[in-house]
Structure 1
C-alpha cells in the first residue's frame, strides 16, 4: 500500500496541535503516513494525540553541517537523476532572488529527502508554504512526485509574492485555513481553483461540555494561550491590564513558551501588575483544557507585525469558545471569522491597549455578558468548526489520484 509523506518544519510541537490532529484524522480515514520533519522536537512535552499517531518519522539534518556524510550522499544521489538539471535550473532562479544560506540548506535537505524517501511514497503533502514547501517542492521535482500544501499564517504573509505564486503553480493542489488567506493566495495563482478553504476545526469528541461558571467567587481569571512572540500582542494585553480601574478584582494567566517571555515578565513588573500575573509556560493539551475551564475570560491581542506576520485563525480561540469562555480579541486576519463582535465575543482594533482595557473592564464587571457570549460561542463553534468536514476533504484530495487510476 502506498503512503503519503507529510513534510513539517518540526515535529512534534505543542503549538501545532492542529497538525497532529489532522495526521491522526487522516490515519483514521485509512491513509498511511510518513512524517518528514526538518527539525527535531524542542518542546518539553507532547500532547495525547501525538501518542496516538502511528506514522514513522524521518528527521532530516536541521543544518547541513550536522551530518555532512548524509548530505553528500543525498547530493550524489540527486545529481545522478535525470530530473536534476530541471531542479538546478529552478533552484538557480530561486537563488537569484533569495541569496541566503537558508536557500542552500533547503536544497541540501531536499536532496537528502529525495534519496531517503521510501519507494512506497506516492505524494508529498507539506504544512507551511515557506521553508518546508521549498524542501518538498525540490524533493518532489527530483523524485517526479506530485506535491500539495497546507498554508497557514506566517508562511503566507512573510513570503514574497513571487515565491508564493510559483509554489502554488508548481503544486498539485493546496488548502488554507482562513477565508482571508484563501482570497490572497487565489489572487496570486494562475489557477485560483487550486486553492481551497479548509478550516482546521476541533475534534469535539476530545472536549467536554463547557463548565458551569455560575456562582464563582474571587478574582476574575483572564487567560491567554499563545507563544510569547510579537504577533500575539501579549504586551498590549499587559498594558491593557495595567489600565484597568483599581477597584476590579482580576488575575491574568499566560500559557505558552516563546522568545519574549523574559521581556514580558519585565514589562509586567514595570507596569506594577506582576503580582496579578502568572506565567505557566508551555503545557500539555490536557493542562491547557483545565485552564480554559478554570478561567472566566480569554484574551488574545493578535496584531500584524512589522514583517507582515500575523495569526491565521487561532485554534486557541475556538478551543476557548468550545469551553464557554467569553473571548476578547482583535480585528486581525481571520479572527472575525470565528468571533462575531457582540454575539460570540468582543473585538477591538489591533495595537489599541485603551480599547482592550475598556472591553476587559466591561467583561470583568458583567458576569451575565460573559455567560451570554460564552454560551453563544460554544454553540456556534461546535456547529461550524468540527474537524470532520475538513479532514474528509483533505483525505479525498490526497487519495484522488489513486482513485482516478483505479477507475
Structure 2
C-alpha cells in the first residue's frame, strides 16, 4: 500500500468534485492518502463523496502570521533534521522573479509540511501546478521525497513559463486533462514523456443514468411550459456568463425559456444586475452553490445545458469542465463553446453543439434553434450519454494514475 501526501489548495470544495472523485477512487485501489490543504474550507456544505473519503487532512497555516509559533517550530525541526541549502537557493531564485507575499507564504507552508509530514509517506502529489505544486516542490527539496502533479486550467495558462518548465524538470510525472494542455506542457518540458494525458472522466456509479420523461414536444411556444435551461459553474469571467445573458436577451420575445444557474462566484451579483438591466431576470433562478445530489436532480429536470466558456485577459480558461460530462450523463443536450478540451468531449452536431467563444450572435442563434427543436435536443442528449460512457469512464483515468504512482510503463 503506497503512502501518498496529496496537496490541495483547499479541501473540501464543492467546485472540485473531480478531485474528490479521484481521491476516493485511489483509496479504493489501495493507496493510503493523507490530504494536505493550504486553506481551510469555505463552503458550507459538502458532497456525499466527501463523507466517503477516509483520508486524514493536514491543514497548513493559511497565513503565516496567524500561526507564528507553528511556523517557528517547523523551522527549528527542519534545520535540525535536513539540509536547507537546495531549498533556500531555489526560494531566493524564485523570489527574485516573483516578489509577491504569496511566494513567501508558499515557502513558509512548505517548511510546515516538511516538518509535519506523516511517517511513511513515499510520494507527494499536488493538484494544480501553481500554488500547491510550489509548496510541494519546496517540501520535496527539503525532505528529498519524489513528487508529481496533476495540472488543469488556470494553473497552467496563468503561470509563468519559467515556473512551469522548472517544475516539469524536477517532478517525476505530470498528468493533465486536455490535449491542448498536454501539447503545451510537453513543449515546455525537457523530457516530454513526463507529461501524460489523463481525462478525469466520470464515476457512473455516482452519476447513474435515469430515464427522463420525454419533453420533445416542448418547443418554447408556451409560456406555461418553457424550455428548461441549466448552467452549472462558478460565476467567474472565464465561464462566459455575461455572453450567455446577452445571448438570452437577444432571443425572440415569443420564445419561452427559464434558466437555472447553480454556482457561487465572485461576479455573481454583477451578473444578477446585468440580467436585471437586460430585462430577463424574471426568467432566471440563481441557486448559488449546491451539493451534488441537488445538482444531479437539477440536470434531470432540465432540457438543455449551456456553458459559454472563454479565454480571459490573463489567459485563464476552462480545461474540460466536468459539469458538461455530468449533464451528458443524464442525457441532457449540451451547448458549449469550442475552446480548450471541450471539443474533445463534444463533436458538434453529433453529441452536442459547439459555437465560437465570445460570439454572442452565434450563441443566441444556437440557443433559439435548440429551444425550438425538442427532437434535436433529445437526439443529441442521448448520443452524448452514449459516447460519454464509451470514452470518459473514470476507471480509465484511474488505471493510468495507478500505473504512474507504481512506476509501471
TM-score (norm 2): 0.96
- From 266, 271, 278, give the equivalent of 1:271: 278
| Deviation sequence 1:199-237 (CA, Å, 0-9, x none) | 000001122224334246511011000000000001110
- The gaps in structure 2 that reach 5 residues or longer are 219-224
Query: 1-side partners of 2:226 and 2:211: how far apart?
Result: 17
Query: 1:79-98, aligned counterparts within 5 Å?
Result: 79-98=79-98
| Alignment check: 8 A CA contact 1:2 1:120 kept | no
* Secondary structure of 2:199's aligned partner: coil
Q: CA RMSD in A?
A: 1.2
Paired residue for 1:242?
249
| Deviation sequence 1:70-127 (CA, Å, 0-9, x none) | 0111122233344301111111111111111100000000000000001211110000
- From 359, 364, 371, give the equivalent of 2:371: 364
Paired residue for 2:336?
329
Paired residue for 1:124?
124
Give the number of equivalent residue pairs: 402
Paired residue for 1:227?
234
Query: 1:12-31, aligned counterparts within 5 Å?
Result: 12-31=12-31
| Alignment check: 8 A CA contact 2:212 2:300 kept | no
Query: 1-side partners of 2:11 and 2:289: how far apart?
Result: 15
- Is the aligned partner of 1:385 residue 2:408? no
| Alignment check: 8 A CA contact 2:238 2:312 kept | yes
Query: 1-side partners of 2:335 and 2:388: how far apart?
Result: 15
Query: 2-side partners of 1:293 and 1:82: how far apart?
Result: 55
Residue 399 of structure 1, CA deviation: 2.5
- From 293, 298, 301, give the equivalent of 1:291: 298
Query: 2-side partners of 1:247 and 1:230: how far apart?
Result: 30
Query: 1-side partners of 2:115 and 2:212: how far apart?
Result: 55
* Secondary structure of 1:124's aligned partner: strand
Q: Moved runs in structure 1, 4+ residues, more than 4 A?
A: none
- Is the aligned partner of 1:196 residue 2:196? yes
Residue 2 of structure 1, CA deviation: 4.9
| Alignment check: 8 A CA contact 1:110 1:135 kept | yes
Range that drifts further, 65-74 or 6-15: 65-74
Paired residue for 1:107?
107
Paired residue for 2:72?
72
Query: 1-side partners of 2:381 and 2:87: how far apart?
Result: 52
Paired residue for 1:34?
34
TM-score (norm 1): 0.97
Paired residue for 1:255?
262
Query: 2-side partners of 1:210 and 1:51: how far apart?
Result: 24
| Alignment check: 8 A CA contact 1:5 1:35 kept | yes
Query: 1-side partners of 2:320 and 2:21: how far apart?
Result: 16
Query: 2-side partners of 1:82 and 1:48: how far apart?
Result: 40
* Secondary structure of 1:303's aligned partner: coil
| Deviation sequence 1:374-393 (CA, Å, 0-9, x none) | 01100001110000011122
| Alignment check: 8 A CA contact 2:82 2:143 kept | no
Range that drifts further, 37-46 or 209-218: 209-218
Residue 258 of structure 1, CA deviation: 0.4
Paired residue for 2:221?
none
| Alignment check: 8 A CA contact 1:210 1:322 kept | no
